Structure 1
Amino acid sequence: MGLLIQAAIVDLDGTMVDTLGDFEIALNCTMADLDLPPITRALVERTVGKGSEHLIRSVLAHQLAQPEANVSPCVTADTLYEPAWLRYQHHYLRCNGQHSDVYPGVVEGLQTLQGAGIRLACLTNKPLSFAQPLLQAKGLAGFFDHVFGGDSFERKKPDPLPILKTCEALGTTVGNTLMVGDSSNDAQAAHAAACPVVLVTYGYNHGRPIQETPAAAWLDSLAQLPTWLQAGR
């Protein structure tokens, strides 16, 4: 294919699978356990993508600031984090994949890339214990030689380390490996690693238009990726 791409590293949430429903259910159950007001889907969309710790701390801080949150002044996002994380894990594992859908064009795009000899890895900030069952449930696991989560390495995206480590696992050079994601988080990691990056337009980008983020291309479907690569653009 064009650009001498040997492998592709593909993000999960917002890139391959629309998981907002799973996040919304798990977080709202967690908030109910902590006697905090329910969250909105819009809040999830703005805060998801930087790992579970960031998500939970952001949601807790937001909910504690709501007028209907009747809590003691000594209760903070920090003091609630550990119980929230435990309850969130419980709820997320129970609903993982039940309220999410594979985006149109994902399977077609992955099939074409795999058929062309492009090696594939999934790299997400989602905990590995969440990511692997989700890929299995959605019929996507068989496409990937490796799956790495937000707890697989010492640091998460947007740090470049996860991309560098994934390239090591794939046995490919960074310059010949394509990062495919949906947010500035993915792009920042790729740019820092000197890895080419393509972004999809339909995912979650912290409430900002994805076209604001520099990338080699912005695609409306993963099914467009093989054609874009073949053209060598």
Structure 2
Amino acid sequence: MVDLDGTLVDTLGDFVAALDGMLDDMGLPQLTPAEVETMVGKGSEHLVRSVLQRVGADAARYDEAWTLYQQHYQAVNGRHARLYDGVAEGLQALRRRGMRLACLTNKPRAFALPLLEAKGLAGCFDHVFGGDDFDRKKPDPLPLLRTCEALGTQPSRTLMIGDSSNDAQAARAAGCPVLLVTYGYNHGQPVRGVDADGFIDTLAELAAVR
């Protein structure tokens, strides 16, 4: 199971562009990329709510903001995003070994699928699950447990690869081993302080694991 934002693809530029458009339409001040980065990872709904709170907007404007955000994100999805180094090599190495892979993200499925297609990664995965495919999102263990079921594997034998405490907490609760990449977002906190089974600087390192 592999996370998407901050693990496979650097999507901060897309988030910033979509939020800029949303805030501008609402007559609200924009945030810096550094501010946005600390809010990424718990799903788009959480991101929008966090941004509204940060700029001092009335929480009652959430529905308006959510509609605008979706419109702007759909327009920019993938435009400002880039693959992290070693992603394609790492995924290809796992596929060559016959491992089944699932992309498991808190990003809405309607945004995740086109992004994977645009970046040439869609064919790497047996399954793609978005944050709206389950009743709860990471760090709840439910998405991981359901993904294990889809893959036909036991949690204890199914690795979670992510970039943040969200992924690690979900993996621990689900009984899955977890590796975290040393880049990514992790809510603005040092990732090596997270309880995980190991850390990798690039997914290409997986090609050397025996």
3-state DSSP of counterpart to 1:218 = strand
Counterpart code for 1:104: D
- Matching residue within 188, 191, 200 for 1:207: 188
CA distance in 1, matches of 2:170, 2:157: 15
How far did residue 227 of structure 1 move? 2.1
Q: Is 1:198 the equivalent of 2:179?
A: yes
3-state DSSP of counterpart to 1:157 = coil
Matches within 5 A, 1:1-233: 9-64=1-56, 76-77=58-59, 79-228=60-209, 230=210
3-state DSSP of counterpart to 1:172 = coil
Counterpart code for 2:92: Q
Q: TM-score if structure 1 supplies the norm length? A: 0.89
How far did residue 52 of structure 1 move? 0.9
- Give the unaligned 5+ runs of structure 1: 1-8, 65-74
3-state DSSP of counterpart to 1:206 = helix
CA distance in 2, matches of 1:44, 1:110: 28
How far did residue 136 of structure 1 move? 0.3
3-state DSSP of counterpart to 1:214 = coil
How far did residue 26 of structure 1 move? 0.1
3-state DSSP of counterpart to 2:180 = strand
Counterpart code for 2:94: L
CA distance in 2, matches of 1:128, 1:165: 15
- Whether the aligned pair in 1 keeps the contact of 2:93 and 2:206 (CA below 8 Å) is no
CA distance in 2, matches of 1:210, 1:225: 19
CA distance in 2, matches of 1:21, 1:146: 26
3-state DSSP of counterpart to 2:160 = strand
Q: TM-score if structure 2 supplies the norm length? A: 0.99
3-state DSSP of counterpart to 1:49 = coil
Deviation per CA, 1:82-123: give whole Å up to 9, x if none. 000000000000000000000010000000000001110000
Q: Give the ranges of 4+ consecutive aligned residues of structure 1 lying more than 4 Å apart after TM superposition.
A: none
CA distance in 2, matches of 1:35, 1:147: 36
- Give the unaligned 5+ runs of structure 2: none
Count residues with an aligned counterpart: 210
How far did residue 225 of structure 1 move? 1.9
3-state DSSP of counterpart to 1:147 = strand
Counterpart code for 2:49: R
CA distance in 2, matches of 1:211, 1:183: 10
How far did residue 214 of structure 1 move? 1.3
Change (3 A) 1:58 1:22: same
Alignment root-mean-square deviation, CA: 0.7
Counterpart code for 2:83: V
CA distance in 2, matches of 1:27, 1:13: 16
3-state DSSP of counterpart to 2:188 = coil
Deviation per CA, 1:135-156: give whole Å up to 9, x if none. 0000000000000000000000
